[in-house]
Amino acid sequence: DYESALGRDCTTLSRHVLQQLQSFSADAQDLSALMSRIALAGKLISRHLSRAGLMEGVLGFTGDVNVQGESVKKLDVYANDVFISVFKQSGLVCRLASEEMEKPYYIPENCPIGRYTLLYDPIDGSSNTDINMSLGSIFAIRQQEGNDLDGEAKDLLQLGSKQIAAGYILYGPSTILVYSIGKGVHSFTLDPSLGEFILSEENIQLPQHGSVYSVNEGNFWQWDESIREYIRYVHRTEGYTARYSGAMVGDIHRILVQGGVFLYPGTVKKPEGKIRLLYESAPLAFLVEQAGGRAITGTQDIMDVVPEKLHQRTPLIIGSKDDVALVESFIQRHAQAQ
């Protein structure tokens, strides 16, 4: 029958979402269509990245500084524009909130209020853009609740558990899309010859423990003593190895597959750390928890953090349950000693 003929080779993302939802309701169709548009954004960005070095004016800086005070890469702007353009006429989302935009971008025409909101980091790890290293896009989907008349998107400032779906696209040797709608974590690999993301793994589960710890040790002297104690421990204990790429999506994907822990702790000067809550930590926490892992700030689950601001940062310790618990034990021991 056709199922065996198609088999796994042709389980596309849109079909998989409908299978997951076991429904063909309008909402299910919308979510499936929404995920397909995210896949389209991923294909466009992947193609652009693969040719970046061949085209004039793609790499390098725009010369602007974004609202976060970071110098903007041309690829940041390109990727942000791709997400806006693929959703503009989709009628699926009313609002896009991105690291690259101070305020959310509203899509008023033919889009009834109360639909989905897409929160995303269009290119995460842009320090890697000009050196041909892996990069990622991170996304979260939330429901727009209320009328948001003041445009402040206050309805987005809610727990990570209010996320409807989340995931990332990893632009590496192959382009992989990993997502969850709360029913497990599944990965798709882009087949450039088909122009389709094809199912590569279902119900991914993080190992309980892994040997990898992933952190920028260049910040060692800016960390709290508890984190320095943890680092000294893994330095002197057999069985740990350091891996850090400078682009979080690749580091997180390694941990999703092999286990271990990724840390971006706060520093004495910036206790809130660097990673953004609503479109980086929260979607990754949603995904990792669905895969049987954990994600904490150091003192609370990422999924329980209620943001006060759209671009709020949090410290992030995320990965295998045992490895996150080990970091947490150093933090707790130091808190008791205070």
* Count, residues near ligand P6P per rule CB under 6 A: 8
State yes or no: 121 annotated in a binding site. yes
Closest distance between ligand P6P and the C-beta of residue 222, in Å?
10
Residue pair 77/101 in contact by the 8 Å Cβ criterion:
no
Q: Residue 13, interface with ligand P6P (CB under 6 A)?
A: no
Closest distance between ligand P6P and the C-beta of residue 127, in Å?
6
* Both tokens assigned to 312: 């709020």
Q: What is the DSSP letter of 238?
A: T
Q: How far apart are CA 300 and CA 225, in angstroms?
A: 18
Closest distance between ligand P6P and the C-beta of residue 6, in Å?
36
Binding part of the chain for ligand P6P, among 45-53, 121-129, 157-165, 174-182 by CB under 6 A, reads: 121-129
Cα angle, residue 232 at apex, residues 230 and 238 outer, rounded to 5°: 95
Q: Residue 124, interface with ligand P6P (CB under 6 A)?
A: yes
Binding part of the chain for ligand P6P, among 11-19, 47-55, 59-67, 242-250 by CB under 6 A, reads: 242-250
30 vs 70, beta carbon nearer ligand P6P: 70
Among 42, 104, 125, 293, binds ligand P6P (CB under 6 A): 125
Q: How far apart are CA 333 and CA 203, in angstroms?
A: 35
* Both tokens assigned to 170: 């990893």
Among 50, 89, 216, 299, binds ligand P6P (CB under 6 A): 216
Q: Residue 274, interface with ligand P6P (CB under 6 A)?
A: yes
Binding part of the chain for ligand P6P, among 10-18, 35-43, 229-237, 246-254 by CB under 6 A, reads: 246-254
**Angle, helix 74-88 to helix 26-50, in steps of 10 degrees:** 150
Among 248, 287, 302, 326, binds ligand P6P (CB under 6 A): 248
Which residues touch 142 (CB under 8 Å, ≥6 apart)?
A: 116, 117, 119, 156, 158, 162, 163, 164
Largest separation between any pair of C-alpha atoms in the chain: 67
State yes or no: 124 annotated in a binding site. yes
Binding part of the chain for ligand P6P, among 17-25, 39-47, 124-132, 315-323 by CB under 6 A, reads: 124-132
Q: Residue 100, interface with ligand P6P (CB under 6 A)?
A: no
Q: Residue 122, interface with ligand P6P (CB under 6 A)?
A: no
Cα angle, residue 71 at apex, residues 68 and 75 outer, rounded to 5°: 105
The β-bridge relationship of strands 294-296 and 135-143 is unpaired
* Both tokens assigned to 105: 């971008």
Residue pair 317/323 in contact by the 8 Å Cβ criterion:
no
* Both tokens assigned to 235: 């330095």
246 vs 292, beta carbon nearer ligand P6P: 246
125 vs 260, beta carbon nearer ligand P6P: 125
Q: Residue 246, interface with ligand P6P (CB under 6 A)?
A: yes
Q: How far apart are CA 322 and CA 318, in angstroms?
A: 11
Q: 136 forms bridges with which residues in the sheet?
A: 124, 170
* One-letter amino acid for residue 114 of the chain: G
Closest distance between ligand P6P and the C-beta of residue 69, in Å?
13
Q: Residue 68, interface with ligand P6P (CB under 6 A)?
A: no
Residues that bind ligand P6P in the complex, under the rule CB under 6 A = 124-125, 127, 216, 246-248, 274
Q: Which residues are known binding-site members?
A: 99, 121, 123-127, 216, 244, 274, 280
